[in-house]
Amino acid sequence: MADKDQIKDILRMVKFPGFSRDIVSFGLVRDVALDGANAQISIEVTTADSRVPEKIAADVKQTVGEIEGIDDVKVRMEINEPNQQPKPGGGSSGGASGNPAMQKVKYAIAVASGKGGVGKSTVAVNLACALQRILEAEGKGGVGIMDCDIYGPSVPLMLGAAGRPEIENDMILPIENFGVRTISMGFLIDEDTPVVWRGPMIMKTIQQFAQNVNWGELEILVVDLPPGTGDAQLSLVQTIPLEGAIIVTTPQPAAANVARRGARMFDKVNVPQLGVIENMSYMEGPDGGRQALFGEGGGQETANSLETSLLGQIPLDPNIRVGCDQGIPIVVSDPESAAAKEFVKIARQVINNLVKK
Ligand code: ADP
């Protein structure tokens, strides 16, 4: 005789389409009922893509149907439409007019990558610091980072920001370091919170980050998206009113394909491309010569195919990693380094692109 626990266990083998994570850890399984040899599974999913629930239902039927003693599997699927992309308030006053928390945020920009490990968070943090320096010198408003990486929130460590955010009038206050205001799941959970609990928290947390954080006056909010281009990321970019997106990639030509997939996600929700940043582009030798360790051309190729520009190329520099580990981004610790100068050059272009829009 099959039992419910057996069904719940085996449901962990059903992956969310396009993800390596399963539907149980994503919190999609609402109920499992068993009546003799008949199983009924209730699933709730938020997606605009009808193929996602179809694929999940088919996989659930097949997987649960393989349990000995189960003759029939019924799947009850509840599909929620993701929120529509909130339209920016228009012109330079931008921001999400319908969302009070974001009203004082002039421009929100996403930093995304097709896959993990390309240095997306490193780039987001250094870019935010570079933007902050330029804007402060010009007497303009502040800069923030919203760290949306639930599984590996690394922004607080990289920015040397620690502590528990305070709550004031039901709003979360970001934590500030080097003049950059940050909010991250890393502030709200302990490192040993089981990853399975985080799945169901994703959308709720991001909605909180989008609606319940008192950023104050911000000129630019950098949104560090989780790596990848799946449905969860899509829901995310629909939750936050974005003025544009930056894609981070690495120089190997094959990386361009992965990066392009990321960019297509923004097309779906009409978020314009602001440009491509190529990371780990070259290593500078003691003689000043450049060595292309990971090949060449990935950034330019990605930019060409997205019809946007290559904003810059960040060298592979051990001091960048050391800066991340010590919580002092290289833009702050060594502004004269080639990497820091490149970040500032990129930040300048981003500001120009935003103002032009
Ligand atoms: P992602 O956000 O894409 O997963 P991270 O930003 O966490 O990647 O970076 C992964 C690792 O690579 C980190 O240890 C970081 O310090 C290091 N790293 C990123 N960019 C560079 C670089 N240009 N030079 C040296 N180390 C880098």
Q: How far is the CA of 344 from the centre of ligand 1 (A)?
A: 18
**Domain match, 233 and 322 both:** yes
Residues 180 and 62 in one domain: no
Count of the separate structural domains present in the chain: 2
Same domain, 324 and 215: yes
Q: Is residue 89 part of a domain?
A: no
With a cut of 90, say whether residue 171 has pLDDT above it: no
DSSP track, 217-279: SEEEEEEEPPSS-SHHHHHHHHHS--SEEEEEE-SSTTHHHHHHHHHHHHHHTTPPEEEEEEE
Average pLDDT of the chain is: 85
Which of 148, 324, 331 best tests ligand 1's pocket when mutated (most atoms within 8 Å of CB)? 324
Ligand 1 atom closest to the CA of 125, numbered from 1: 6
* One domain, residues 291 and 159: yes
The CATH code of the domain that includes 152 is: 3.40.50.300
Boundary-marking domain end, from 12, 47, 80: 80
In a domain, 94, yes or no: no
Q: Return the ligand 1 atom nearest residue 115 CA.
A: 3
Nearest-atom index, ligand 1, CA of 113: 3
pLDDT tens digit sequence for 23-46: 886 678 889 999 999 999 999 887
Residue 44 covered by a domain: yes
Question: 132 C-alpha vs ligand 1 centroid, how far in Å?
Answer: 21
- Report helix, strand or coil for 197: helix
In this structure, of 44-48, 62-66, 81-85, 318-322, the range with the lowest mean pLDDT score is 81-85
CA dihedral 324, 325, 326, 331 (to 10 degrees): -10
Nearest CA to ligand 1 atom 14: 321
Percent of the chain with pLDDT over 90: 52
* Domain's final residue, options 48, 80, 112: 80
pLDDT score of 85: 45
Q: Could you report the per-residue pLDDT of 123-149, keeping only the tens digit for each?
A: 999 999 999 999 999 999 899 999 988
Q: How far is the CA of 102 from the centre of ligand 1 (A)?
A: 29
Residues 134 and 35 both lie in one domain: no
| Ligand 1 centroid distance, CA of 229 (Å) | 19
Q: What was the pLDDT predicted at 91?
A: 34
What pLDDT is stored for residue 23 in this prediction? 81
> CA-to-CA distance for 303 and 80, rounded, in angstroms?
34
| CA 58 distance to own-chain centroid | 29
Contact criterion met (CB below 8 Å) for 233 and 269: no
Residue 7's pLDDT band (cuts 50, 70, 90): very high
Sign of CA dihedral 205, 222, 116, 184: negative
Task: Calculate mean pLDDT across residues 314-342.
Answer: 96
Q: Which residues line ligand 1 (CB under 6 A)?
A: 113, 116-122, 154, 227, 279-280, 314, 316-317, 320-321, 324
- The answer to whether position 327 is within a domain reads yes
Task: Give the position, in ligand 1's atom list, of the atom nearest the Cα of 339.
Answer: 23
Amino acid of residue 79: I
pLDDT at 200 over 80: no
Q: Is the pLDDT of residue 297 over 80?
A: yes
The residue segments making up the domain with residue 279 are 100-356
Q: Do 108 and 61 fall into the same domain?
A: no
Last residue of a domain, one of 80, 115, 140: 80
Average pLDDT on 203-217 reads 81
pLDDT at 90: 35
**Residue 183 located in a structural domain:** yes
- Assign 93 a pLDDT band (cuts: 50, 70, 90): very low
By C-alpha distance, which of 255, 226, 100 is closest to 155?
Answer: 226
Same domain, 76 and 142: no
Residues 111, 147 share a domain: yes
pTM of the model: 0.74
Give 185 Cα–ligand 1 centroid separation in angstroms: 19
Tell me: do 190 and 46 sit in the same domain. Answer: no
CATH number at residue 32: 3.30.300.130
Give the pLDDT confidence score for residue 61 in this predicted structure: 96
Do 60 and 149 reside in the same domain of the chain?
Answer: no
Residue 85 lies in a domain: no
Residue nearest to atom 19 of ligand 1 (CA): 119
Can you tell me the mean pLDDT for 214-227? 91
Q: Are residues 75 and 111 in the same domain?
A: no
